[in-house]
Structure 1
Amino acid sequence: MPRSSQDRLARKCYENAITDDEVRAAVHRRDPKSLDQAIEEAQKEEAYLESERIRKGLKPKQRDHHIAAVTDDSQRDELLKMMKEFQQGIQKGMQEGLKEIAGAVKASKEKREPFICRK
């Protein structure tokens, strides 16, 4: 996947993960070109909103640190299946890489000729 597509996907995932509606809307309006810019815009907006709350004498807003839980069995099963496939892919890739390395080592040993020192 091209780097630009990866970055666009990461930006959208980041934007969707922002729990504060005002911050998410601000990031969306500013249309950042990279994930780093999106994070920077979110931080600026959070700082601005926090300073406005303090200026108005309101208590600072508590951050919402939660992770959405898997709520039904089909979601859990699908997630477990995906994790298993991911793990199998990693193992397969590692095995192929090790075979390739072993083949290269074997080939390099076969090509070696003894060094003869002459006077």
Structure 2
Amino acid sequence: MKINQVYLITGKSEKRNQKIQIIVSEIVSAESLKTEMKRRLFLRLTEDDSSNIKKQLLKILKVHTGRVPVVLYEEKKALKWVLDEKYWINSSSELEEQLIKLLGRNNVVFQNESK
């Protein structure tokens, strides 16, 4: 940790000996959080994708939990939405490979937002 830096602290508070204490479970610098939040993952489900594929997809996403939003586009219904935060990911080459194997290369796109 550095002096005069902003951090996001996750944890819980408790009162002990008439004092409030914070038990920290995670500390993330605001700068790294800002960089992560500018990134998004777009996934397209084609008409051929079954409910079984959707289940596999959600299972993969839950394993790679992080702060990168996931946008899902369902081609058959022409619907697009951001998945719940519990399915947001920590982008990695391993995750990208798994998603490409499941959905196909043209259906997995990582995008960085421009300022």
Quick check: TM above 0.5?
no
More strand by percentage: 2
